[in-house]
Structure 1
């Protein structure tokens, strides 16, 4: 199970016990915000795309949408999300639990500027009923991010 992979991933930092598991689904931003008890913006949704034949992840605030013009300016290609099957094969987690932790090698992770307005955020942990509360600094550390990007709209 992907959550076990994420749990093992966080063991390196003695953080595995910080993973929250819910009796209800947290597969969408709205459901995750309800399960956690926070505003939707604080849910750090992880979106999967293909850039130059390689999968990438963009972690963004839950109250945002991808801005196609900003995305194309950043990555020099049109935003093309992975299919559900591609996400499992190329990232290592299923849709609803995608996160930047315990992913396949070679997947670049980008953090969107929309996250910086929060002290802590809640990314998923590999399953559709999990999350972990992290500071922005912790998200940077544990996600092994490549860089910060500005590819979202609807939050400013």
Structure 2
């Protein structure tokens, strides 16, 4: 636990949630912002497609977390159709904070106040090591596709 004490509070919640489910990757703080997938890939020295980008949408006015490859854009109309939703739209910053307890650019796949319905982009399966946000725009942790699906209880789906 000593290594997490210097992390921001939201990242400590994420680290504890990871430890609680037996995930072996550790949340770490980077010297530069990883607010965008391109920023994260540059800071980590990896392909942008290996960034598990956390995007929050409102699906029929309920929060929906989409874990997508950093190299993809989400087609909200196609996603709504796949999920049987009438409308999927980008969440407003205050909706992101209310549903996840985290700020845009740092939303982790877990550690939220309440469970959030999640979709995991199947394109992430192409990368053996993924990097996900750790609760702030400067924190990340390593994972893989199967672990990401398991930790989120997410639905694997194409999103673009």
Equivalent position SS for 1:47: strand
Query: Shift in Å at residue 13 of structure 1?
Result: 4.2
Aligned to 2:92: 83
SS of residue paired to 2:90: coil
Cα deviation, residue 79, structure 1: 2.8
Q: What secondary structure sits across from 2:136 in the alignment?
A: coil
Rounded Cα–Cα distance in structure 2 between residues aligned with 1:133 and 1:60: 15
Q: Which residue of 1 aligns with 2:141?
A: 132
Q: Which runs of 5+ in 2 are unaligned?
A: 1-8
Structure 1 SS opposite 2:52: strand
- Cα 1:79–1:13 change in 2 (3 A) is closer
Query: Segments of 4+ in structure 1 off by > 6 A?
Result: none
Q: CA RMSD in A?
A: 1.7
Once the two structures are overlaid, the 10-residue window that deviates more, 43-52 or 74-83, is 74-83
CA distance in 1, matches of 2:28, 2:152: 17
Determine which of 104, 113, 134 is the counterpart of 1:95. Answer: 104
2:59 and 2:75 map into 1 onto residues whose CA distance is: 16
Partner of 1:115 in structure 2?
Answer: 124
Query: Could you tell me how far apart the structure 1 residues matched to 2:35 and 2:114 are?
Result: 24
How many positions carry a matched residue from both structures? 151
Distance 2:99 2:127 in 1: 29
2:10 matched residue in structure 1: 2
1:148 maps to what in 2? Answer: 156
Given that 2:100 and 2:111 are in contact with CA atoms closer than 8 Å, whether structure 1 keeps it comes out as no
User: Secondary structure of the equivalent of 1:3?
Assistant: helix
The CA deviation at 1:34 is 1.0
TM-score between both structures, scaled by the size of structure 2:
0.86
Give the equivalent residue in structure 2 for 1:34: 42
For structure 1, the 5+ residue unaligned runs are none
